[in-house]
Amino acid sequence: MSQQQQPSDESTKSENVEYLINQLADLIDKKDVDKITDIQRSLLNRFEKSNQMLVYCNELSNQHYLKLSKDFRSHTTKLNEMYKDLDIVFHRIRMIKQKLREKYPDVLIEKQEQENVIDEENTNIITETMENLMLENQMTTNEESSNISETNDQCQKNS
C-alpha cells in the first residue's frame, strides 16, 4: 500500500510544481520579458564591440612595446659603448700626462696651468655629453609618449 501512495505523492508534487510555475509565469508579462531580453542582447553586443576594441588596442600596444623595447636596448648598448670609449680615452690621456711629467719635469709648472684649463674643458665636454644624453633620453621618452598617444587615438578611432 505504501508503494501505491508514493507514485500518487510524486504526481501530486509534480502537479504542484507545474501549478507554481504557471502561476509565476502569469505574474510576469510577456512584453516585459521580451523587453528585458532585448536590453540584454543590446548590452551583449556593446560588450562584444568593447571587447574587440580592447583586443585591438592591446595588440597595437604590444606592437609598439616590442618596437620601443628593441630601440631602448639598442640605445642602452650605444650608451654603454660610448661610456667605455670615453673611459678609455680619459685613461689614455692620464697615461700620456704621466709620461710627460716623468719625461719633462721642468715644464711641469707651466703645463699645470694649461692642464687646469684642459681639465675644465674636459669637464665641460663631459657635462655637455651628459646633457646631450639626457636630451636624447627625453626625446626618446617624448617619442614613446607620442607613440602611446597615437595608440590611444587609434584605439578611440576604432571605437
Assess whether pLDDT exceeds 50 at residue 1: no
Does the residue 6 lie in any domain? no
d(CA 69, CA 63): 10
Number of Cβ within a 10 Å radius of residue 94: 10
Does the residue 69 lie in any domain? yes
Domain housing 132: 29-158
Q: What is the pTM of this model?
A: 0.43
What total number of domains does the chain contain? Answer: 1
Q: Sorting pLDDT into bands at 50, 70 and 90, what band is 7?
A: low
pLDDT for 158? 62
Handedness of CA 10, 11, 12, 13 (dihedral sign): positive
Does the residue 19 lie in any domain? no
Task: Tell me the pLDDT tens digit for each residue of 8-54.
Answer: 677 788 888 888 888 877 787 888 889 999 999 999 999 999 999 99
Assess whether pLDDT exceeds 80 at residue 148: no
